[in-house]
Amino acid sequence: MNSKANHGVIKPICWQGDHLQLLDQRLLPLEEHYLVVRSAAEVAGAIHDMVVRGAPAIGIAAAYGVALAARAGDDLNTALSVLEASRPTAVNLHWALARMRQKISAGADPAALLSEAKAIHAEDLAMNHRMGDLGAALFTKPVSVLTHCNTGALATGGHGTALGVIRTAHALGRLKQVYAGETRPWLQGSRLTAWELQKEGIPAQLITDSAAASLMARAAVDWVIVGADRVAANGDVANKIGTYSLAVLARHHGVKFMVVAPGTTVDLTTANGSEIPIEERSSRELTEFRGQATAPAGFPALNPVFDVTPATLVDVLVTDRGVIHKPDAASVAELMKQDTAS
């Protein structure tokens, strides 16, 4: 089976001539609705409000936001600042905006900025397929995997990072079963990952986040496969809250732990995980769901939406530039010297 056969099934980010359409991920799986955005401020709002989410997808949307600002004749410095402030943890946002800023400094016109945004989008899809191939190649027999949050086409330019490895493994006959953690409090696993898996007929079951340890104790899981919002220079990984817990559990139970992220997610300017800003969002995301209370009124809640997994708990880091077993500062630095075409 062609591992790229389904790359166009799910398109969360679509350029439509003079505006951007974003699949509103807040409404899935109940409704498939595209939000029309026509300005950088509207793109920034969509990123902040999680209409679009996932580090690569955030970067792609932000690049299109710059293109929209240029088409409208808006002040580009203001647009860049508004977009930069939309989410603090995902490094792809800052990478994509730095790339657009370079084009602006070189005198690019609106058409050239749109072409650059489209190039960022297309390159991400190509990187995802390469990571899918590299990650699936590590499976010498069909495996059962556990994944967290959503790292598929919805979170990227298409195909996905961690879920892209799972997609490719399924296409190649190397996948037995997927366990998708629900991923509290936004339920990206149950609302989004389960939706993607069902849409493409990949064998999977949904589990509560707290069921992971029990599954591992029963030897039901061979690999934990997750994405990343930022990888520090030493290999520490910031990802959706709960990732660190899974890494600790995996190490205790002898389950392999794989992180899948493009080279654009590696931040060599951040020495280690302690330097990564961890976004804290409204407590209402924890005490309510879609406007319905899930906790007593006024009860305080702490809502960090990312955690940091030390590199010492990562067995494999898969990027479009290559694969690192047991990543550390030296191997990450060497990886980032590699040509992505190699």
pLDDT for the residue numbered 340: 56
pLDDT for the residue numbered 91: 87
pLDDT for the residue numbered 8: 55
Cis before 29? omega within 30 = yes
pLDDT for the residue numbered 339: 67
Is the pLDDT confidence value at 4 over 70?
A: no
Q: Give CA–CA dist 37/228, Å, rounded.
A: 26
In terms of phi and psi (left: phi > 0; alpha: psi -120 to 50; beta: otherwise), the region of 17 is: left
* Bridge partners of residue 225, in order along the sequence: 147, 258
pLDDT per residue as tens digits for the range 208-224:
999 999 999 999 999 99
Mean pLDDT of the chain: 94
pLDDT for the residue numbered 5: 42
Is residue 290 very low, low, confident or very high in pLDDT (cuts 50, 70, 90)? confident
Q: Looking at the annotation, which residues are catalytic? A: 229
Q: Give CA–CA dist 42/47, Å, rounded.
A: 9
Residue 194 contacts by C-beta under 8 Å, 6 or more apart in sequence?
29, 180, 204, 206
Across residues 228-257, what is the average pLDDT?
A: 98
Q: Report residue 49 as tokens.
A: 């409000």
pLDDT per residue as tens digits for the range 310-333:
999 999 999 999 999 999 999 999
